[in-house]
Amino acid sequence: MADAAPAAANKRLQMADIARLAGVSVSTVSRALNGSPLINDETRSRIAELARSLNYSINLGAQNLRLQKNQTVAVVVPYDAQSRQHISDPFFLSIVGAIADALTDRGYDMLLSRVDAERLDTAAALYDSGKAIGIVVIGQWRHHDQLNALAARKVPLVVWGGQLPQQLYCSVGGDNVGGGLQATRHLLQQGRKRIVFLGDAALPEVQLRRAGYLQALREAAVAPDPKLELPVPFEIIAARAALDRLCAGRTRFDGVVACSDLLALQAVQAVRAAGRQVPGDVAVVGYDDMPVATYSDPPLTTVHQPVAVAGAELVDALLALLRGERAAPRMLPVHLVVRESAPAGA
């Protein structure tokens, strides 16, 4: 009565079931399914066929426990707990897609996780608990220190972002100084001198782009004006409000260097709402070169970031780390794509 209970066979199939049905021991099934050369071909194919026909698949939780292995990488997309802002900037979504592709190609699974941007260190739980063998964090946000602490603890970690002094973790990022420099130089070459910098310099990537912006001004002997620096967050609504205030005020400007394409487009809308023309009165340069930049009105001059390459580099750096190699921070080249929001001809 205990053994032969025919009702409610709801339980998941396991190796012992296959073994019983095949009339062999579990070890034989294990060996057959794992392609051990010890098993004779007839037995192996009989077992393989049985497993396939029953949709049996080795339980990976048990296998991983036994083998002490794991093929899962966690990808962490921080979010702003204040504004409850969700994954939405196209750049983040797009780099997640690129990482998914790179991991799939290399035979790894991707666990997508969201953590509070103020507590990046909580991401370590994904590693400590064995859920993932390593972590990719998208962006440094305000917590270089927390990321350093994780690296000091030997958590396998790669971060998309800028390279900073005193950095213990491996980062992969675009050339932010170069990007800020190219964007600003381009505007200066068109004779623009009152150039707004749009982005929150508390974020390392933005800070580096700002350094490029300042360097370009210096090269052109244009004095920087703090009133032209708008430390807007990535959140679009607040950014728009700050832009509207700027347009309503007395501060003159004829160019904008924005830290994302979406910010650039908000700038376009704010400028137009104030009755001025883009690019006539104000030329605008974006950042990232997402698809929206080609379709927008006007199409955006913007700094292209190599997203697909970035995904592959992040993954390769993490895998190198896991092999015990030292992975040096990498900086990927960026380039300016000139479109109509800030054209080349004066």
Q: Which stretch binds its own copies (CB under 8 A): 41-49, 60-68, 165-173, 187-195?
A: 60-68
Residue among 54 and 273 whose Cβ is closer to DNA: 54
CB of 220 to its own copies, least distance (A): 30
Find the part of the chain contacting its own copies (CB under 8 A) among 1-9, 30-38, 50-58, 179-187.
50-58
Report d(CA 96, CA 8) in Å as an integer.
42
Residues forming a β-bridge with 331: 173
Containing H/E element for 74?
Answer: strand 72-79
10 interacts with DNA by CB under 7 A: no
Using alpha carbons only, how large is the chain's radius of gyration in Å? 27
Cα–Cα distance, 128 to 132 (Å, whole number) = 8
* Phi and psi, residue 246, nearest 5°: -60, -45
Task: Report the residue number, 27 or 88, with the smaller CB distance to its own copies.
Answer: 88
Residue 342 found at the interface with its own copies (CB under 8 A): no
Among DNA, its own copies, none, the one that 38 touches (CB under a kind-dependent 5 to 8 A) is DNA
Q: Does 87 bind its own copies (CB under 8 A)?
A: yes
The distance of closest approach from Cβ of residue 75 to DNA in the complex, given in angstroms and rounded to an integer, is: 24
How near is the Cβ of 310 to DNA at its closest, in Å?
34
Handedness of CA 91, 96, 99, 100 (dihedral sign): negative
Nearest CA-CA partner of 174 in 32, 308, 338 = 308
54 binds DNA (CB under 7 A): no
Q: Which stretch binds DNA (CB under 7 A): 27-35, 96-104, 137-145, 319-327?
A: 27-35
Task: Report the C-alpha gap between 73 and 102 in whole angstroms.
Answer: 11
Per the CB < 8 A criterion, the answer to whether 157 and 169 are in contact is yes
Q: Would you mind telling me the total number of residues written for the chain in this entry?
A: 346
Of 251 and 269, CB closest to its own copies: 269
Write the CA distances from 137 to 75, 76, 114, 280, 318, integer angstroms: 6, 5, 10, 40, 11
Q: Is 219 in the site for its own copies (CB under 8 A)?
A: no
Residue 98 or 208 with smaller CB distance to its own copies: 98
Report, in Å, the least distance between residue 101 CB and DNA.
Answer: 28
Q: Which of 70, 88, 66, 91 is nearest to 79 (CA)?
A: 88
Query: Using an 8 Å Cβ cutoff, are 198 and 266 in contact?
Result: no
Residue 131: which of DNA, its own copies, none does it interact with, CB under 5 to 8 A by kind? its own copies
Binding string, 212-241, against DNA, x = CB under 7 A?
Answer: ------------------------------
Partner whose binding site includes residue 316, from its own copies, DNA, none (CB under 5 to 8 Å by kind): none
The continuous run of DSSP H or E covering 286 comes out as strand 283-288
Residues 217 and 221: their CA atoms lie apart, in Å, by 6
Q: What is the 3-state secondary structure (H, E, C) of 110-146?
A: EEEEEEECCCHHHHHHHHHCCCCCEEEEECCCCCHHH
Per CB under 8 A, the list member of 128, 145, 219, 325 interacting with its own copies is 128
Q: Does 184 bind its own copies (CB under 8 A)?
A: no
96 binds its own copies (CB under 8 A): yes
Using CB under 8 A as the binding criterion, the count of chain residues that bind its own copies stands at 50
* Footprint of its own copies (CB under 8 A): 12, 55-62, 64-65, 70, 72, 75, 77, 86-88, 90, 93-94, 96-98, 100-101, 104, 109-114, 124-125, 128-131, 153, 262, 265, 291-292, 295-299, 308
